[in-house]
Structure formats: structure tokens, C-alpha cells
Structure 1
């Protein structure tokens, strides 16, 4: 049974989501603010976090940022009353896996949770590790594990997906819109600057000199190519 942490400062919102996700067969824990959420994440393991953005003290953005800084790579779905593009972009750049704007369908939220969990659980059920060398990085895409110089290298779930897609299309030009369409699968895409920032972070882990890339190349006016 997958364990979900729901973080929202509105009790009625938490209760409504919790009741529906419990009905869907998930094991639910609730947190009323960002500080409580971090405490729970430090004490227990969760398969996914449903995280409200607009909260007092610590916003959802702050919580997600702290999670990624502490190498807590649990998938995150943001919930927010804000629908502006800049908020979606910021959430994704902080390492979120998905983004829903209130009001939303709980059935759609459940469907998105299941889609993310399918991607993560399929890899965790495999015990074998098959590493692929990409520049200075060794990556096991099936188990979401990366190593650099024999030391574990932390990549977010979305960073793994972007790198995997580039690897599947190696030697071919991949446009930013292609990445957004196939990785994020949004009806309304965030700006292509989101992709540029992901590529920058991946280069810091793959390239010997990120300022002079030889593995993930920029094809000006077209996109990126993994060599």
C-alpha cells in the first residue's frame, strides 16, 4: 500500500483529499503546515507528497526546496490556488513532479498520483542494477540510482526522466517542447526556461566542465543532443 503525505493548512481540504485517497486504497498521513511536513518526512518514509503551496510560516515551495536540499527525493505534487505560469515554472524547477491548480478534481489528482507511483514502483521492484555511463555519471534508470566516481549522486525523479529521454534519443536533436510534452505531459506547458534549468543541473553532474559541455550539447535554435 502506497503511503501519501497530504500537507495543507485548510482542515476541510486535507480531510476531503484524505477521504478520497483512502477510498482509492492509499495509506494517508496529514500535516497541517510546512514545519509538520518536514518533521514527518524526517521520521517516516512516504511514496509521494501532496503539498499545498500557500501556507503560513513555510510555504510549499520552501518545503520542496528543503526536501531537495536534504536529498529527500520523494515525488511531490503541488496544490495551489495560483494558476500563473511563473508559479508552475517555479514549482517544477524546485523539483516537483506535477502541479494542480485549485479547484481541482480529486479523481484527476488520484490518477496523477497513480501515474507517478507506477513510474517509481516499477523501478523499485527490480533488484538488478544495470548502470549506463553518461559522461562522468553512471546511471541505473530502472532503479533510479546514479553514481559519480563510485559515490552516489543525487538526482531528482524529474532529472532522471529528462536524462533518460535524452539517452533514448541519443545522437538526435530533442527540442525543448518535445521534452515538455513527453516528460511533463501538460495541457498547458511551462516555459522552455524550465528545460534549460534542468539541462544546466544535469550538465553539472555529467560533464567534466559544465561550462564547456561535450555530452549534452546545445543545438542553437533547435534544442539539445546527447552524445
Structure 2
């Protein structure tokens, strides 16, 4: 692709096998994952998902993830854009990692204060589980968060100046708006489902995001259909 992307993001679930119940299969999947991406000539950004540390993460599963893939949450600047990468599983189930969850929350509060103070032209949050799939008022289901924590976190993001959130987890495309803050859900490269949630889908692809001075533009492409050059007009 020309110009070459700044980096590639995988919004969680790097592997399918869960760390505590399928360790042998996970070892094979991790080896395959690293072999596949070893030839990548741009940086690969890994976001922590529930399959990566377990639906109920432990100190051991998080430590294993960190040793294999790096930090489970972090922030960085790129091209004048500020990125915050969170570990969304802490908001789904932190029953066995209360201390780690509290450290993550303190760090995130500091990041949001930093965004308030520095006021980047664009501030983007990357996470695995979306706060909602299509509507901030939708009911709780396996693909989003409880409404109480969802409401609190969306307001925190918005008040800090965040206007863009990119997520995975849903195994189909989705997204919507909280006020003028856009949440984008991108389907998987592996297993996707139809909107009824039951029928396998062959819609495997990825999203290309263009960062412009006054906005972000994004388009989803099925594998093999993305353009080889990106226009900025």
C-alpha cells in the first residue's frame, strides 16, 4: 500500500486458545502468529483481548501475555496523534486481579488528564471489547459492557477530549456515536458471524484509517479488495 501505513493494529484476540485451558494449542498458535508477522515491514500493534488473558484474567495469564506480546496497556504519539491502548478485560471481570485493575485505572485517569492538558488534534483509544455495538443505550450482551460502567467510561472519555475509539471482539462490523465521539467496531480476520449472531460469515477483512487534519476517515475492505494506493484528496 502506498503510502505505507504507519502501523498495523490487531484489536485483541491475537490467538484463539485460552491461556489456562488450552496451553499446548496456545503455544502452537503463538508460534504461528509470530511466524506470520515476522515478515511485516511496518510496526505491529497488539491490543489485549479476552482470549489473550482469559475471560477471568489472573496475574499469571497477564504476566504470560506481557512476556509474549508486550504491555497489555500503554500510550504513544504517532504523527501528532495521541493513542491510548487499554486492557478492556479489567472492566469485564477483574475479580482475580483487583490490584492490577486498580493500577490500570490510575494510569488511565492520568492518560485522560494528559489529553485534557495537551489537547492533541486527534486522540484515539484502542481497546478490544467495545462499550457498545451500535448504540450507547443498548442492553448488555456478551459483546459489550454493563450500562453503568459504559455510561461512566464514555463520559470520562468524552470529557477528556477523546473523539475516536476503535475496537474488535464483536466478530462483525459495528459502531455508533456517543454525542460526537465515534466508536468503530471492526470484524475479525478469522471467524465472523452474520448480524443474527449464529450464521458463519465469509466477510473477513480489515479497516484502513486515514488521519486528516480535521477528521479521521475509515473504510472496511474484505481481504484482497483494498486499494494498493491511498489517496488523500
Per the normalisation by structure 2, the TM-score is 0.30
Per the normalisation by structure 1, the TM-score is 0.30
Q: Looking at both structures, which has the greater relative contact order when contacts are Cα pairs under 8 Å and sequence separation is at least 6?
A: 2
Q: Which has the higher helix share?
A: 1
